[in-house]
Amino acid sequence: MAGHPGLSHTAAMILQALDAGCLYGFSLMEATGLPSGTVYPALRRLERDELIRSSWEKQSIADAEQRPPRRYYKLTAAGRNALTASRKRYPLLTRMLPERETEPA
Amino acid sequence: MMTRLDILILRAAARLVPAGERREWLAEWLTELWYALHEGRRAGVTAFCLGAFRDALWKRRNAPIARYSSLSLRARPSVPEPPEIRCAPVIESPLCCLGALGCLATLALFLSWLSPVSLPSGGRLFLALLPLSVIYSLVLVFTGNALPGEYPRHRNWAGRWSFFLAKVTLLLLVIALSASAVPIAEFRIDAALISTAGAVRWAMMDQRRRCPVCLRMLDNPVRMGNHSRILLEWNGTELLCLRGHGVMHVPERPAIWFSRQRWLSFVP
């Protein structure tokens, strides 16, 4: 999609949290403080608009750690551009959410 | 441990998700529930699960079927689609439409012939309704209720106008002849006036739903865009000519920059 000047604050928060290293639904909820009924539909919307993309973790990695595989979300190039624009629009965004953490394998 | 209630909530919500996506959707939510429980959030877990309903409803509203039918020129999937069972309306083609109206006019003529009432005669009532229909049309156009569309680069204006005039004429004939058969004189004129307003409006709305090239009904309506982004991008309905002449874009709400429906021609 061409340009996303109309990103809501919620969407911007989720993009910022993703950029900060919260890469799956529950951690996004924890970081943003938003309820599940807001975070997951927002993720679907962002994915539909090609601002993020998702992928399932490999079963072998999850098995080794004795936990179910996670569905990870990642910013796309368009999502990164939208986030940059959103940071100008919502200057407190970077202060609200922690700095970038480590990327998953 | 996941409680039975939590799983029940997620499974109930999953019923709202389109069947093709349900399995993956449920897998993601069960995984997330597992993490919610293992990261010490037992207290809010039920509220967490109830959020699945909103997500499921979003999935349902945005099911791929809408994107599918968006007459995309993309390649079709390898899985064969089941044949579409759809009843085309009787008035789908212009000839059938005029034929149906002609049949109605014949029936009305037969009724008026049977009726003992002779005044006002159907012919005179028809002539009286003609200028009225023009006034109604102008009122509908100027009040924005049935604005004609923008049809750039196509030359079938004579065909379109002829078809429209034929429809209105036949409808007025039906009304005039039927009204002349009404035995109570007080209702005759009132019924004719009200019916003329309805008929003119129907004729104009029907005209808007037709391909300007072949005059057949447009099909495959697809809603597009987001209402809340009216200042940024258009939103409305896209209709397709099944013979491939083009696409009609009908705005949901008129904007300054997109007030009338627009025809995008595929024919050079």
B154-212 pLDDT per residue, tens = 667 788 889 999 999 999 888 888 887 777 777 878 888 889 889 988 988 888 888 88
Residue A2 lies in a domain: no
Find out whether B264 and B257 touch, Cβ atoms under 8 Å: no
Give the CA radius of gyration of chain A: 14
Q: Answer whether A10 touches B (CB < 8 Å).
A: no
Domain C-terminal end among B177, B208, B239: B208
Residue A40 lies in a domain: yes
Q: B52: which chain A residues are within 8 Å (Cβ-Cβ)?
A: 36-37, 40
- A-interface mutation test, from B1, B26, B31, B60, most A Cβ less than 10 A away: B31
Q: How far is A41 from chain B (nearest CA, A)?
A: 5
Residue B79 lies in a domain: no
Categorize the per-residue pLDDT at A44 as very low, low, confident or very high, splitting at 50, 70 and 90: very high
Look at chain B and report how many structural domains it folds into: 3
Same domain flag for B105 and B202: yes
| Number of A–B residue contacts, CB under 8 Å | 59
For residue B49, what are its two tokens?
């699960």
Which pLDDT value is given to residue B64?
64
- Out of B11-15, B97-101, B229-233, B255-259, least confident range: B229-233
- Mean pLDDT taken over chain B: 77
Same domain flag for B198 and B117: yes
Categorize the per-residue pLDDT at B2 as very low, low, confident or very high, splitting at 50, 70 and 90: low
Residue A32 lies in a domain: yes
> Three-state SS across B154-222?
CCCHHHHHHHHHHHHHHHHHHHHHHHHCCCCHHHHHHHHHHHHHHHHHHHHHHHHCECCCCCCECEEEE
| Residues B177, B183, B186: CA angle, nearest 5 degrees | 95
CATH of the domain at A14: 1.10.10.10
Look at chain A and report how many structural domains it folds into: 1
Same domain flag for B201 and B101: yes
Domain C-terminal end among B188, B208, B228: B208
Same domain flag for B119 and B41: no
Domain that holds residue B174: 94-208
Q: A37: which chain B residues are within 8 Å (Cβ-Cβ)?
A: 50-55
d(CA B234, CA B239): 15
pTM for the whole structure: 0.47
Same domain flag for B195 and B129: yes
